[in-house]
Chains A and B, each alone.
Chain A
């Protein structure tokens, strides 16, 4: 069963987004995505200061059998990358929604519509079928 926390927003490409109290957002990949990739062996996060458009490839998650791009759910500027992942990529497998976050961003354009937890669960149900 896939873990889909109710307080997060999702994309159809399996990224999640969390609003932080300071107005920034935190971004990672969903439990479903980490499970589909298998044991991660390498994670590359974007450098601080990089400006991203919504839908732009910005990070890479790599397992022994797959390497996948992560796309930014929103437009904005990267303010932090999860440095822990360089030596511990398995954090994304173990705690995809907490310690396995990929990056934090400052939003500079109005947010596009993202999926809520229910909508993402439905999206997964269709995809898995």
Chain B
């Protein structure tokens, strides 16, 4: 019997102790009309059979030379990361409610929180949220709790924020009466201009979301945007790529030299680039960090360092009174389980790579994307969409609709990027492409040659 260890002697002895004839008797409190017959499910497979099945399915998916980013980035993952993260002691443990028997997981989370604070420059981090998109939704809800000067529950949402994050924020935060004001971007530079905010001057907004680098891969002028927000009593929610933080200014310093002398208030984002595989979109993890003054408005679990009865240092979950199992309908969020194992992987990744390693990954990714853009824009019918500064992703304009081109490239084993037609029809035939550190010059040449070939055919 699959995963059931009982021998027939065990079963007999156990039924005897319980005082029933058969296992069926144990279900005699269930109204009999509710019991179902055999379900229409496939018969059991052995491990060998299921292994073959999955190998066949995997082969059917194949491997592509991938140039898609758009929120999920293909970085090299050191072998040690998942070799350790999948150890049974991490993999098969529960949330660390029994602190004394969970010091391993708790210390990992404390170290993770410390590293996240170091990367973002913020004072406190939680133990993770589900993913980057839902982390932004939670950040919007948190901003409503934290910004007591605002009563509007309105959030300024630039269109340069990942469009799926915007949809998820609507789906999750919309039920609590939070509304979003869309802010358009500059067509030349592909970023949010300060002038586009002036029309909101003096209005009541709870928060503004600033994504750096933005969805197009371009750099926003975060300092002046942050300063404007704070002058208008608007909290700043930063959405950042953790790898980019090796090169780009930490959100706690955004706008700090401006009039309001204040950095971002809530920082969140997708943790996937820190050692988590692409894996069809999940499980990833969302991160969130903030100022100490808002710690009680922050959702999710938090680990603190304390002492035991012998005065020895140890770790435990803290600030639990904010959470659903105590505060119930008044909790900061209903979140309980988050993405612990992915956080474990990310903590190992950050330890192995250190600041220097992450900086190298960021630099190599930027360099490869530069090379990619240069190679592709040298092809007739391809030009860059924007003039601004960028990180490791870029928008290119083709001389014809993108989808058929991508399909042809896929036929040659190349994923050429993301077609932006659905999210940004006004950009025309726009393609979002990315080359991280894992790409070689040869890979880039392969893509460029294939694209040149495809575009040389009549569309």
Q: Does chain A touch chain B in the assembled complex, meaning CB atoms less than 8 Å apart?
A: yes
Contact pattern, A 75-118, Cβ under 8 Å of B = 1, otherwise 0 = 00000000000000000000000000000000000000000000
Tell me whether A42 and B296 are in contact (CB under 8 A): yes
- Could you tell me which residues of chain B, from 65 to 108, have a CB within 8 Å of some CB in chain A? none
B327 close to A (CB within 8 Å)? yes
CA distance A37 to B36 in the complex (A): 47
- Find chain B residues with CB under 8 A from A66 CB: 321, 326
Tell me whether A69 and B330 are in contact (CB under 8 A): yes
Interface size on A, residues (CB 8 A): 11
How close is A33's CB to chain B, nearest CB, in angstroms? Answer: 15
Tell me whether A65 and B296 are in contact (CB under 8 A): no
How close is A58's CB to chain B, nearest CB, in angstroms? Answer: 13
- Find chain A residues with CB under 8 A from B326 CB: 65-67
How close is B145's CB to chain A, nearest CB, in angstroms? Answer: 12
Residue of A44, A64, A65 ringed by the most chain B CB atoms within 10 A: A64
CA distance A66 to B330 in the complex (A): 12
CA distance A10 to B346 in the complex (A): 52
CA distance A80 to B395 in the complex (A): 56
How close is B317's CB to chain A, nearest CB, in angstroms? Answer: 10
B333 close to A (CB within 8 Å)? no
Q: Which residue from B318, B321, B322, B330 sits with its C-beta under 8 Å from A65?
A: B321
- Could you tell me which residues of chain B, from 246 to 265, have a CB within 8 Å of some CB in chain A? none
CA distance A64 to B304 in the complex (A): 13
CA distance A63 to B327 in the complex (A): 11
- Could you tell me which residues of chain B, from 308 to 336, have a CB within 8 Å of some CB in chain A? 318, 320-322, 326-327, 330
Residue of A44, A47, A62, A66 ringed by the most chain B CB atoms within 10 A: A62
How close is A70's CB to chain B, nearest CB, in angstroms? Answer: 13
- Find chain A residues with CB under 8 A from B322 CB: 67
Tell me whether A64 and B320 are in contact (CB under 8 A): yes
How close is A100's CB to chain B, nearest CB, in angstroms? Answer: 18
Contact pattern, B 140-151, Cβ under 8 Å of A = 1, otherwise 0 = 000000001000
Closest chain B residue, CB of each to CB of A60? B296
- Could you tell me which residues of chain A, from 34 to 78, have a CB within 8 Å of some CB in chain B? 41-42, 44, 47, 62-67, 69
Q: Is the interface of B mostly helix, strand, loop or mixed?
A: helix
Closest chain B residue, CB of each to CB of A50? B148
Q: Which residue from B148, B296, B321, B327 sits with its C-beta under 8 Å from A64?
A: B321
How close is B281's CB to chain A, nearest CB, in angstroms? Answer: 35
CA distance A31 to B327 in the complex (A): 22
How close is B326's CB to chain A, nearest CB, in angstroms? Answer: 6
How close is A3's CB to chain B, nearest CB, in angstroms? Answer: 25
Closest chain A residue, CB of each to CB of B317? A64
Closest chain B residue, CB of each to CB of A47? B148
Residue of B148, B320, B321, B327 ringed by the most chain A CB atoms within 10 A: B321
Closest chain A residue, CB of each to CB of B316? A64
CA distance A86 to B399 in the complex (A): 63
- Find chain B residues with CB under 8 A from A67 CB: 321-322, 326-327, 330
How close is B298's CB to chain A, nearest CB, in angstroms? Answer: 13
How close is B36's CB to chain A, nearest CB, in angstroms? Answer: 42
Tell me whether B321 and A63 are in contact (CB under 8 A): yes
How close is B334's CB to chain A, nearest CB, in angstroms? Answer: 16
CA distance A109 to B315 in the complex (A): 49
- Find chain A residues with CB under 8 A from B320 CB: 64
- Could you tell me which residues of chain B, from 181 to 238, have a CB within 8 Å of some CB in chain A? none
- Find chain B residues with CB under 8 A from A42 CB: 296, 321
Tell me whether A62 and B330 are in contact (CB under 8 A): no
- Find chain B residues with CB under 8 A from A41 CB: 321
CA distance A65 to B326 in the complex (A): 7
How close is A38's CB to chain B, nearest CB, in angstroms? Answer: 11
Closest chain B residue, CB of each to CB of A67? B321
- Find chain A residues with CB under 8 A from B318 CB: 64
CA distance A41 to B304 in the complex (A): 14
- Find chain B residues with CB under 8 A from A62 CB: 296, 321
Residue of A41, A42, A62, A67 ringed by the most chain B CB atoms within 10 A: A67
- Find chain B residues with CB under 8 A from A69 CB: 330
CA distance A6 to B320 in the complex (A): 36
How close is A78's CB to chain B, nearest CB, in angstroms? Answer: 13
CA distance A41 to B319 in the complex (A): 9
How close is B327's CB to chain A, nearest CB, in angstroms? Answer: 5
- B residues with CB within 8 A of A: 148, 296, 318, 320-322, 326-327, 330
What are 6 A-B residue pairs whose CB atoms fall within 8 Å in the complex? A44-B296, A63-B321, A65-B321, A65-B326, A66-B321, A67-B327
* 5 A-B pairs with the lowest CB-CB distances in the bound complex, closest first: A67-B321, A62-B321, A67-B327, A66-B326, A66-B321
List 16 extra interface pairs beyond A42-B321, A67-B326, CB under 8 A. A42-B296, A44-B296, A47-B148, A62-B321, A63-B321, A64-B318, A64-B320, A64-B321, A65-B321, A65-B326, A66-B321, A66-B326, A67-B321, A67-B322, A67-B330, A69-B330
